[in-house]
Structure 1
Amino acid sequence: MKSEEADQLIEKYNNGKASASERALVESWYLKYPEGARLSEQNLLAEHDAGLHRLNAYLDKGRRIRLLQRVAAAATVFLVLSTGIYFYGSAPQGIKDSITPEQDIAPGGDLAVLTLANGDTLNLSSVKAGVVIGAEGLTYTDGARVGGPNATADPDSAEEITAETPRGGTYRIQLSDGTLVVMNSESKLTFAQYFNDQSRIVELSGEAYFEVAKDPARPFVVKTNGQEVRVLGTHFNINSYTQNRSIRTTLLEGSVRVTASNSELILTPGYQAVLTGGQLSQAKADLEEAVSWKDGYFRFNNESITDIMSKLARWYDIDVAYEGDITDEGFTGTISRFKKISDVLAMLETTKTVHFKIEERRVTVMR
């Protein structure tokens, strides 16, 4: 890889325009070395020739790859809090000994489908990072057209579009008002192709991160099952998967009003609204955990193995089974979402409290 190509790739990564494979390449460079490491010229050239050398130059200049340094520092660390088991470094073979490379399961990528008001569907490109709903119709973030004649629309149309990500899919959507929505796997977003003059209303199931374009004249409203979030312009994450016990709305910037039944909360940054059984409450939030999926990694905070496997099932598109008594320990740690599933499972196995077997797209969890 030439230094100019590495330069362009890092720029795409920092701007959120890199594809899943490109993000994985950048992270594979960085995660090989601990934060602050001084990489020798010999190592750099042996690893990725001029490409990695260019990356190191960026790090030396202080032009950090945002958030990735914190990911790198903890990428191979897990902690079982209730027993005090701690480990750092390379994972043992474990699950890796029991499968061939052909049996391993790759991570998800950029996948989504748009359904237009007339029922036509558009499969969004897996080599593009996002789509823009603009005055010229539907385009990718690089300006390329989406689909054929169906992608052209009347700029005054208020007809609805539905975006859906499957298991193993994620996608970035820029709405007609400039709002950015990053959709997690197995999620659905319904929105007007062009918002009217009074309001901006979308409906969500699953999980999405919002960077809402400021518009004091038109509130931005996100409706989920039993809840409504109203903002004027802010950054927040909503996790509303139906299989979860709660809907969590986490605020990173600005202010939001969360309404459910007869309850209402005004959130400030660093807090989240939790809707459980129709009851709305407020809690201090782990912001990194809330948006880790968007930034390309899993972050577990004293989570049960069943909750962890639920996340892995959505991202790797797998079925999960349990055999025998399963540990009730809580796992805390961080690992890249762009590793194959065997790498993630091997790291969990290092705690010696859980083991796995893979059969096609079925992962069995054992003591």
Structure 2
Amino acid sequence: MTGRRPRIFVTRRLPETVEARMATLFDASFNASDSPLSADQLVAALEGHEVLVSSITDRIDADLLGRLPAGVRLIAQFGNGVDNIDVEAAYRAGLTVTNTPSVLTEDTADMAVMLMLALPRRLVEGAGVLLGDEAWPGWAPTWMLGRRLRGKSLGIVGLGRIGTAVAARARAFGLSIHYFARDRRPPALEEMLEATWWPDLDAMLGAVDIVSLHTPHTRDTYHILSGERLARMRKDAYVVNVSRPELIDEKALVAEIRSGHLSGAALDVVEHRHGINPDLLSLARENRVILTAHMASATLEARVEMGETVIVNIRTFMDGHQPPHRVLPDGRR
């Protein structure tokens, strides 16, 4: 890259090593408050900049895109998901959008399996006993009984990079692997994972003990676990979600757990635009649901790799080439 350094604005604080590298390569400005910016604040901050380094906490809708300074050419998302960006509107406006896929695979898969282990074994509940106000009465043969993982069946919705990594880990714990995807995976992958493809999601849901979601949020996957589908699930089954909150009808999930049909859920992502569902919080306090605070990719290694991917996308774009992780609207190539 030659000549003037590109001017970039970064909406959230990143690991020090990433910020230092960005400051070396670019004319970089950072949001010192590290708090989500309003649309007006974002527009003002982008004056004189060419690149917006966004995160999932930035709501970049069609209205905001229409107000961006004319010099902004690239939205380089720090993250895999782009649910916060109106990608179609950005495309129509001539803006390029990129993201940071792949680098989150291993950490997200680890988190999914951790939740899979913690949920039936009542790990969070058991750990909390020692920290409570009442003294632990000690071990007893029938105390804190959970459910064994080995021998159970896991149904994965979306066998992409992360779903495949989850399946590989789950096999080590003795789970049988089942998956639903629009397209069947190659025989070699199915053989390696000993995985069974289900062309019908409803049929798979009724046949497995644990359902783990690993599909992006699109028009087609919104509430893919609807109330009707949750009701089809096997009695005493569990739900795990480290992907997107929009994939589950939370109200229906609460109802199925409350009724005793489902044994519980472990959710790293929840709908919280208007505050976390109080019924979900109540179930978590009753130790029937595990809630974690969007931690699936929260490792230093992942965050640094995400930053490096953002840098590669910016440099490639500013050098006049197609960035390696460009995001296009559905149906565009």
TM-score by length of 2: 0.28
TM-score by length of 1: 0.26
